[in-house]
Amino acid sequence: MAIRPMARTDVNRSAILAHLGAHGPASRAELARTLSLSPALMTQLTKDLLHDGLLRELEHQASQGGRPARMLGLVSSAGRAVGVKVASDHVAFVEVGIDGTVLRTASEPFDAAATTMLMSLAGLLRSFIAGGSSAPLLGIGVGVPGSVDSQAAGVVSSTQLKWNNVPIGATLRRELGLPVLVENNVNALAMAERLYGLGRRHRNFLAVTIGTGIGAAIVIDGLIVRGFGGGAGEIGHIPVREDGPRCTCGNIGCLETFASESALVATARDRNVIAPGAGVAALRDAADRGNPAAIAVFGEAGHLLGRAIAGLVHVLDPEVVILLGEGTADWGHWSYGFEPAFRAALIPARRGIPVAVETWQDASWAQGAATLVLATPFDAEGIAGEQGDLVRQRLVQQASPQERS
């Protein structure tokens, strides 16, 4: 095992860009502190980046008691990235600037089960890219519900999409001629959360998504845990009861069969709380109106979710639990069952752990995928591999065809 992982050479240069993108302008001294680098090196690196045209010096900042800081900002025309969320019946696209801001979104119908689906995805991507800004495109991030062997290779297996070892990474790369990074969608979201969201101030957190299914991403020491086979975070299949409906995985008693939007809808239909064809919106409306049966459906799911997550808090000892996903819109109803079960199941020392609910937007999944590209700088361990190098190259090359001093 490597004692000194020996990051790729210009990781730090890109880390500066990513930090400025995520947090806005900063001084050299501040960058050196937050990135744990020496001021000396920061001088060197920023000199290069300024020369390359990726950074520019902004105005001075008011003195903090000493010499005033010269702020550095990104040259926003330096690049853009595209993120894709793949679902079984549609794909969502988003284009983001180098600073992480969403520039453009789109959504298209898509049949993940079709034999030609890889080609049609490539086609949809091509036309989305063509409509974008003129800034150089650094790469494509793809978020999928399932396990991915590695971001760089991008071979996907997913029960939800009914995919088995689909080489989506290699195919898109060949078709589009761009760096392509593939990741589990929850992990991608967690990465976005770490760079731009509540996770920004935490190096250890647990991100839980509530949607059609239920998932989690584990961030330890600032890095996402992928597990041996890239399948870490599958909390949907934690066994929580001895009985219950059969899960898509074939087992009985999985958390996902009790605590997910699909599970809520199924239960509510069984109990005639909502009409046979109604969805989660109807259930929410019923609960909003104070329907006790609807409230109970949320409460029971929240109870099981709370106990399961309490177990994870014991195992992982995170600093905070962050809730994400479409389902957070109904969190008010969930929390009714969640909070008491969660707190009661925790050992006293952890009972005060914060549970934060992140504001959710439709574009968030795809934005998370785009973050894969922008987060490449943080990839000190080489998770993104060769594709990460390509992203870095594109970032630097586009700005300065001339050689560096």
Partner DNA sequence: TATGGTTTGTTTAGTCCTGAACTAAGGGGA
Partner DNA sequence: TCCCCTTAGTTCAGGACTAAACAAACCATA
Residues that bind DNA (CB under 7 A): 4, 6-7, 9-12, 27-30, 36-47, 60, 63-70
CB of 34 to DNA, least distance (A): 11
Rank residues 29 and 129 by Cβ distance to DNA and give the closer one: 29
CB of 22 to its own copies, least distance (A): 11
Q: How far apart are the first and last CA of the chain?
A: 36
Query: What is d(CA 162, CA 124) in angstroms, rounded to the nearest whole number?
Result: 20
Query: Which residues bind to its own copies, rule: CB under 8 A?
Result: 1-7, 11-12, 15, 34-37, 147, 157, 159, 203-204, 216, 218, 220-222, 225-239, 249-251, 253, 307-308, 310-312, 314-319, 344-350, 377-378, 380-381
Rank residues 98 and 310 by Cβ distance to its own copies and give the closer one: 310
CB of 44 to DNA, least distance (A): 7
Query: What is d(CA 190, CA 209) in angstroms, rounded to the nearest whole number?
Result: 10
44 binds, among DNA, its own copies, none (CB under 5 to 8 A by kind): DNA
Pairing assessment for the beta strands 355-357 and 320-324 based on DSSP bridges: parallel
Structure tokens at 203: 């190096």
Rank residues 288 and 386 by Cβ distance to DNA and give the closer one: 386
CB of 43 to DNA, least distance (A): 3
Rank residues 25 and 231 by Cβ distance to DNA and give the closer one: 25
339 binds, among its own copies, DNA, none (CB under 5 to 8 A by kind): none
Query: What is d(CA 233, CA 225) in angstroms, rounded to the nearest whole number?
Result: 8
Q: If you search the block for the tokens 């937050």, which residue do you land on?
A: 34
Rank residues 17 and 112 by Cβ distance to its own copies and give the closer one: 17
> 239: which residues sit within 8 A by CB, 6+ positions away?
251, 253, 254, 255
23 binds, among DNA, its own copies, none (CB under 5 to 8 A by kind): none
CB of 30 to DNA, least distance (A): 6
CB 275 within 8 A of CB 309: no
Rank residues 46 and 157 by Cβ distance to DNA and give the closer one: 46
Structure tokens at 241: 């009861």
Rank residues 329 and 380 by Cβ distance to its own copies and give the closer one: 380
CB of 134 to its own copies, least distance (A): 30
119 binds, among its own copies, DNA, none (CB under 5 to 8 A by kind): none
CB 186 within 8 A of CB 233: yes
231 binds, among its own copies, DNA, none (CB under 5 to 8 A by kind): its own copies
203 binds, among DNA, its own copies, none (CB under 5 to 8 A by kind): its own copies
CA within 13 Å, CB half, 202 = 25
Q: Amino acid identity of 91?
A: V
Rank residues 12 and 150 by Cβ distance to DNA and give the closer one: 12
CB of 342 to its own copies, least distance (A): 10
Rank residues 125 and 305 by Cβ distance to its own copies and give the closer one: 305
> 83: which residues sit within 8 A by CB, 6+ positions away?
93, 94, 95, 96, 140, 141, 142, 143, 188, 366, 367, 368, 369, 370, 371, 372, 373
42 binds, among its own copies, DNA, none (CB under 5 to 8 A by kind): DNA
165 binds, among DNA, its own copies, none (CB under 5 to 8 A by kind): none
262 binds, among its own copies, DNA, none (CB under 5 to 8 A by kind): none
CB of 313 to DNA, least distance (A): 34
Structure tokens at 324: 């994400």
> 140: which residues sit within 8 A by CB, 6+ positions away?
81, 82, 83, 84, 125, 172, 176, 178, 179, 180, 181, 373
DSSP code at position 93: E
Q: Across the beta sheet with 355-357, what order do the strands follow?
A: 223-224, 214-220, 205-210, 320-324, 355-357
CB of 4 to DNA, least distance (A): 5
Rank residues 10 and 108 by Cβ distance to DNA and give the closer one: 10
CB of 1 to its own copies, least distance (A): 5
CB 178 within 8 A of CB 128: no
Structure tokens at 215: 């998932």
Query: What is d(CA 295, CA 252) in angstroms, rounded to the nearest whole number?
Result: 24
Query: What is d(CA 258, CA 297) in angstroms, rounded to the nearest whole number?
Result: 9
